[in-house]
Amino acid sequence: MELIKWTDQYSVGITEIDNQHKGLVIIINELFSYMSNGKAKEHLNNIFDHLTDYTEKHFLVEETMLIKYAYPDYDQHKFEHSKFIEKLKSLKLEFESGKITISLEILNFLKDWLLNHILNTDKKYSAHIEKYQ
């Protein structure tokens, strides 16, 4: 069962970035699958760690590319990345302390953030970088 179905509308036209975005979709879908099967609690720490690690690596690749192509909205883009990583770490701490359980609300937050970020923020740099290739 999938929470997110990857389609070409999410493509930014840069193979490495698209593949990394697909990887994030896979991780979120994996969490959704665990939740749907009642196994989220036992896997959530590993999923949060994997998602945070993968996201940080992806953001580094993306930010390096934005610097290379002198993307004019780099600072704002980096700020969005930083806020998302902070939120992931905060959710993990709240889960570990028993303040939250994994819920559809959290999954929808992850899904909505990723898809909105790709469609509204990443697509902007895509057009900028396309001019140089």
Q: Is residue 8 part of a domain?
A: no
| 39 vs 93: CA distance, rounded Å | 19
Q: Is residue 7 part of a domain?
A: no
Residue 92 has a pLDDT of 83
| One-character DSSP codes across 49-110 | HHHHHHHHHHHHHHHHHHHHTT-TTHHHHHHHHHHHHHHHHHHHHHHHTTS----HHHHHHH
Q: Is residue 9 part of a domain?
A: no
Q: Is residue 47 part of a domain?
A: yes
Q: Model-level pTM? A: 0.90
Task: For the chain, 133 residues long, give each residue's pLDDT as a single digit of tens.
Answer: 799 999 999 999 999 999 999 999 999 999 899 888 888 777 877 888 899 999 999 999 999 999 999 999 999 999 999 999 999 888 888 878 877 666 677 888 899 999 999 999 999 999 899 888 7
Tokens of 126: 């895509």
Q: Is residue 88 part of a domain?
A: yes
How many structural domains compose the chain? Answer: 1
Q: Is residue 106 part of a domain?
A: yes
Q: Is residue 3 part of a domain?
A: no
Enclosing domain of residue 111 = 14-130
Residue 106 has a pLDDT of 82
What CATH number should be reported for the domain holding residue 116? 1.20.120.50
